[in-house]
């Protein structure tokens, strides 16, 4: 006859009662899935394939294809966008021949060429000063997400 101590029996019984230890917390065959964008999808059948889960979530409007892609460029653009949102925005008052710009009443000249910057575009200064108190500056065009290096005049 095998004798078990009362402590061992209580320990085994406790394991069976604590959710997520021996039994799946979401029910049999269910799991939580964390997507590359950080979104957590709960109560997913454990036997579903990644492509099937992607198809179902997109069809239901609960996710986009981007949510499944660990695209570093997209992630960095989102981080940068949050940083840019905190900065003061300025309007390009004049854009002449991709070389000369008036921003915040100050004159700036492109270090090379700054294509696709038009009057009315919103920009933020990543480096330098919108007051023109600088040797050089770098701006970001919020319409195109293109950067441009400028000389401060």
Residues 99-115 pLDDT 10s: 999 999 999 999 989 99
23 and 53 both lie in a single domain: yes
CB of 98 within 8 A of CB of 114?
yes
24 and 58 both lie in a single domain: yes
Q: What does DSSP say about strands 30-34 and 40-45: parallel, antiparallel, or unpaired? A: antiparallel
| Domain count across the chain | 2
**3-class DSSP assignment, residue 145:** coil
Q: How far apart are CA 87 and CA 141, in angstroms?
A: 13
CB of 150 within 8 A of CB of 109?
yes
Q: How far is CA 36 from CA 40, 41, 52, 116, 145, in A?
A: 9, 11, 16, 33, 24
**67: its two tokens:** 């949510």
pLDDT score recorded for residue 8? 36
Could you tell me which of 77, 59, 66 has the C-alpha nearest to residue 37?
66
Mean pLDDT by 10 residues, the chain (153 residues): 40 36 48 76 81 84 75 56 72 96 96 94 92 92 93 90
pLDDT score recorded for residue 76? 55
Q: What residues make up the domain containing 30?
A: 19-70
Whether pTM > 0.75 for this model: the answer is no
- Contacting residues for 41 by C-beta, under 8 A, at least 6 apart: 32, 33, 34, 35, 53, 57, 62, 63
Q: How many helices (H) and strands (E) does the chain have?
A: 3, 8
Give the domain-ending residue among 27, 45, 70. 70
106 and 131 both lie in a single domain: yes
pLDDT score recorded for residue 15? 35
95 and 139 both lie in a single domain: yes
- Is residue 95 a part of any domain in this protein? yes
pLDDT score recorded for residue 4? 38
Q: What does DSSP say about strands 40-45 and 136-141: parallel, antiparallel, or unpaired? A: unpaired
- Residue 90: alpha-carbon gap to chain centroid: 24
**105: its two tokens:** 């009443």
For residue 60, the number of C-alpha atoms closer than 13 Å in the C-beta half-sphere is: 9
146 and 97 both lie in a single domain: yes
């Amino acid at each position: 006859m095998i004798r078990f101590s009362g402590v061992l029996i209580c320990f085994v019984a406790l394991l069976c009662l604590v959710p997520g230890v021996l039994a799946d917390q979401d029910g049999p065959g269910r799991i939580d899935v964390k997507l590359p964008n950080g979104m957590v999808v709960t109560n997913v059948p454990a036997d579903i394939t990644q492509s099937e889960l992607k198809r179902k979530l997109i069809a239901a409007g609960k996710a986009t294809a981007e949510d499944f892609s660990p695209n570093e460029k997209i992630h960095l653009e989102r981080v940068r966008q949050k940083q840019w949102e905190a900065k003061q925005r300025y309007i390009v008052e004049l854009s002449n021949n991709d070389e000369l710009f008036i921003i915040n009443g100050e004159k700036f000249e492109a270090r090379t060429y700054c294509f696709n910057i038009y009057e009315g575009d919103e920009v933020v200064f990543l480096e330098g000063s919108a007051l023109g108190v600088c040797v050089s500056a770098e701006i970001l065009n919020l319409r195109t997400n293109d950067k441009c290096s400028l000389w401060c005049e």
